[in-house]
Amino acid sequence: MEKLSIIVPCYNEQESLPIFYKEITKVADEMKEIEFEFILVNDGSKDNTLELAKELRKKDSRVHYISFSRNFGKESAMYAGLQKSSGDYVVTMDADLQDPPSLIPVMYHAIKDDGFDCVATRRVSRKGEPRLRSCCARCFYHLINKISKTQIMDGARDYRLMKRQMVDAILKMSECNRFTKGIFSWVGFDVKWLEYDNVERVAGNTKWSFWKLFLYSIDGIVAFSTAPLALAAIFGFLFCLVAIILIVVIILRTLLWGDAVAEWPSLICILSLIGGTQMLCIGILGEYLAKTYLETKKRPMFIVKDEE
């Protein structure tokens, strides 16, 4: 019999996990044609998530868990889960039921019957989410799709079902600056998109603050585009052009009307503008350098403290 692995990164999910388990087992019991395996990845939770996972493991042998030594982030948790999974098909999904388990049979049949390698999901609405957050998310997708060859679908979730072949391709990408949405797209394969309206989390709170999301979006851009590095060259070129024009204007004006030293405030403005732009460009360079530095250290993506 074929096997389906369900990977669930969990960080402080003691409220959601029992509800999630109830819902997912309902789906598993309906799908008699395939064997299930649930991999709960405890990403350094400070609540009772690990104890709950251990309890589930005791009463249901299909449940496995991995527990990290601290919080390493959702990206690392997903990678750990993919590594541990042994299914012919793998699903990655959140513990808060924002990814409706009822879609799993639909996804499975799209792969089995229609020959896709992967079925991915995207939410077409963002109801229940702060306006500013939705707006920034939209801008981010617009920007990254403009400056990167890797296309990322607006509203794409990490909720998807993949064939083993695709999972193995993702596991080969062992970069530590992981932006999974980009990695999913980069590996290619035939992907079918399912759309659904946003569902609010069933219990507990979101683990992503606005600031965390902002930093994550920068990670995404740095990981999948080098276009920002060209900014320094573009600014440099523009400023040289402006400077040449200004030099000609000033020489002509001095010859025609005399000394122009009286206008020092405009000089300050120009100096600040150029200084600021230089700092910005150095900052962008620094961002890429920092990522390269971290990547060359080859630190492990996560440290496992306990697993079963």
Please report, as ranges, the residues that interact with Mg ion according to CB under 5 A.
94, 96, 98, 201
Q: Across-strand partners of 162?
A: 90, 118
Q: Could you give the CA distance from residue 96 to residue 19 in angstroms, rounded to a whole number?
A: 8
Q: How crowded is residue 18: how many other Cβ atoms within 10 Å of its Cβ? A: 14
Q: Could you give the CA distance from residue 220 to residue 183 in angstroms, rounded to a whole number?
A: 10
Q: Which is nearer to ligand UDP, 9 or 228 (CB)?
A: 9
Q: Do residues 94 and 158 make contact, with C-beta atoms less than 8 angstroms apart?
A: yes
Residue 84 binds ligand UDP (CB under 6 A): no
Among 13, 15, 37, 117, binds ligand UDP (CB under 6 A): 13
Residue 64, SS3? Answer: strand
Residue 201 binds ligand UDP (CB under 6 A): yes
Residue 37 binds ligand UDP (CB under 6 A): no
Among 52, 80, 81, 94, binds ligand UDP (CB under 6 A): 94
Minimum gap (Å) between residue 49 Cβ and ligand UDP: 8
Q: Report CA Rg, the chain.
A: 25
Of residues 201, 204, 298, 205, the one with CA closest to residue 15: 204
Q: Which is nearer to Mg ion, 74 or 192 (CB)?
A: 74
Minimum gap (Å) between residue 11 Cβ and ligand UDP: 3
Of residues 245, 242, 225, 224, the one with CA closest to residue 234: 242
Residue 64 binds ligand UDP (CB under 6 A): no
Among 84, 122, 133, 207, binds ligand UDP (CB under 6 A): 207
> Which residues of the chain form contacts with ligand UDP (CB under 6 A)?
9-11, 13, 43, 71, 73-74, 77, 94-96, 98, 201, 206-208
